[in-house]
Amino acid sequence: MGSSVVLENKIKIMDSSLANKIAAGEVVEKCVSVVKELVENSIDAGANEIKIEVKESGTRLIKVIDDGSGMSDSDALLAFQRHATSKLLDEMSLFRISSLGFRGEALPSIAAVSMVTLKTSTGGVGTKIVIKGGKIISNEASDARKGTEITVENLFYNTPARLKYLNSLHSELANICEYVNKIALSYPDKKFTLISDDKILLNTDGSGNLLKVIKEIYGSEVARKMKKITVFNDDYDVDGFISLPEVTRSSRAHMVTLVNNRVVRNTSLNQAINDAYHTYKPETRYPIVVLNISTDPSLVDVNVHPAKLDIKFSNFEGLKELIKVGIKQVLDSALLIPKIEENRIKEQRPTIGVQTLNLEREKIVEESTIDYSLFDEPVMEVNEDIKDYNSDEKASYVSEKKKVIMPEMYPVGLAKGTYIICHNELGIYMIDQHAAKERINYEGYLKAFGNPNNSSIRMLIPLTLEFPSNEFIIIKENINVLKDMHFDIEENGINTFVIKEHPTWIKEGYENDSIKKILEVLISEEKNFSIEKFREKAAIMLSCKMAIKANMNISKQEMEALIDDLRKCENPYTCPHGRPTTIFYSNYELEKMFKRAM
């Protein structure tokens, strides 16, 4: 009788310590991950004051102290068990998540890769628990201060590979600052303090005034150039502040989008915001925006990313259109001429007061000012006793705002063959003649493309153009677009087109170049071709080519005609590439520069 061979199982249950370390990698990627999870727990616990302290960018110590509801002794122990949570009780709750945290993974994941000390109390005798590498070292009574204090030390001490691949300390601290800034913008009614190596980096007052938080983060110069936005539809309410086009940054990081006060990162949403600024700013620059999107929790899904940063929306197209229209309405309601101000060197950040510019007279209230709008909106002070700027009243900008018309101005001369010098009772204006003519041409061409008339001009010598086979196919596929614009274009042999007529709006003397450029745009739009994008790019290209060049002297009559045409534009403030057409020096600033006003 042969002996039986016992085969050892290859599949085994993973050691819980190892499993916790692996799971921790999904939740705790960097130092900022720890700060995020702990701060969100504090907010979910109803805290009104949250203090974050870090040492060596969080690698040595991260401490979060709050005045929230606190935990009982049994709950404190249970909180370090994986998937233990008070925020998600049944499957139906998963589809109506209103809390920031809900998976029950944060605390056990953090505890698995660090030394954690938890002190918490609901108002009676408190609890102090010390955990190292996921194992409880001690559990004892603590003080009775209501709230929770969590200290995380020596992060990733037992996972050296993760510690090795952390960014530099400066980069880790920058990530923490960025997150705390965004969460402070999400909850202006909560007081946040961020301290790094005993230095205060952020200290908000929790007054509920979002503009004050913006001022604390970006400074008064940016705060005074932010505009309120409040728009809504059946599914979404959008409320917040957007910067004037002159205030931009080199990255998208300052476009802060919140959904029910949750910081989210959605590429399509950011693109919609950026598209709303199209032609108001350069394409490579991005606005400062803080938008809170309020909606029923059932219309969004936050359970699509381990860090809960990405989000899925119901009726997403409707939300994007609402945001784009809302931003354009705000920009159209404001005078967007950059105002030149004398730089002042001050030892301390100035207190913020008020400045208002009146059409009849100029009234200066304080030297350090916030000009919330020029000409068209009520001015609101940012002082301690300010009334809440984030009103619950919902109103569409369509009914409230009227388009601001560029003020009348009178040309007096041309500087450097490029800048038209103008003045009126408010001050002095400088107009870039090339940028201004670009804007006038752009809106004219865009209108002509969208509403072509039936007139065309027969070319004296037909234009024959030969293309590579791939480009020939693209043009052939979209030839009706050109015919609808009243080009007489047809095939003429292998990979060749002949153009016999062109629309009347093409400038005389530039026919061949203009037609070639239009066809180049048509070819470049091969992927995801849309008639709107084609018209837009073609209008921008032609507007630049046909504009007055710099260093070209024009007569006073031509200046007056240019200014008159510019004032008729929908957006007279920037060229199609986003550069300003006009800048403004107020009487007061001129007098200060010449020491007439002190």
> What is the model's pLDDT at position 168?
80
> What is the model's pLDDT at position 221?
86
Residues of the chain with CATH 3.30.230.10: 210-332
Q: Which of 325, 293, 322 is nearest to 401 (CA)?
A: 325
Residues of the chain with CATH 3.30.565.10: 16-203
> What is the model's pLDDT at position 106?
72
Question: How far, in Å, CA of 282 to CA of 394, rounded?
Answer: 32
The answer to whether 320 and 269 have CB atoms below 8 angstroms apart is: yes
Residue with tokens 């980069």: 171
CATH class held by domain 210-332: alpha beta
Question: How far, in Å, CA of 190 to CA of 173, rounded?
Answer: 22
> What is the model's pLDDT at position 311?
75
DSSP 340-363: E------SSPPP---EEE-SS-EE
- Residues in Cβ contact with 422 at an 8 Å cutoff, skipping those fewer than 6 apart: 409, 410, 411, 412, 428, 429, 430, 431, 563
- Using the Cα atoms of residue 60, residue 64, residue 70 and residue 75 in order, give the sign of their dihedral: negative
> What is the model's pLDDT at position 357?
31
Question: How far, in Å, CA of 193 to CA of 65, rounded?
Answer: 10
Q: Which tens digit of pLDDT belongs to each residue from 436-474?
A: 999 998 988 888 877 766 778 888 889 998 888 888 888
Architecture, CATH, for domain 454-503+508-545: 2-Layer Sandwich (3.30)
Question: How far, in Å, CA of 487 to CA of 504, rounded?
Answer: 10
Q: Return averaged pLDDT per consecutive 10 residues of the chain, 598 residues in all.
A: 57 54 57 90 92 92 93 84 50 44 65 89 89 87 88 80 71 90 94 94 93 92 91 92 90 89 86 89 89 87 56 86 92 78 45 31 32 34 36 39 74 91 93 92 84 79 87 87 87 89 82 85 72 78 76 87 91 89 90 80
Our CA angle for 113, 117, 119, nearest 5°, is 145
> What is the model's pLDDT at position 73?
86
Report the CATH number of the 16-203 domain: 3.30.565.10
> What is the model's pLDDT at position 326?
93
| pTM above threshold 0.85 | no
Q: Which tens digit of pLDDT belongs to each residue from 2-31?
A: 555 565 655 655 555 555 544 444 557 788
Question: How far, in Å, CA of 388 to CA of 429, rounded?
Answer: 35
> What is the model's pLDDT at position 310?
65
The answer to whether 414 and 559 have CB atoms below 8 angstroms apart is: yes
* DSSP classification of residue 97: -
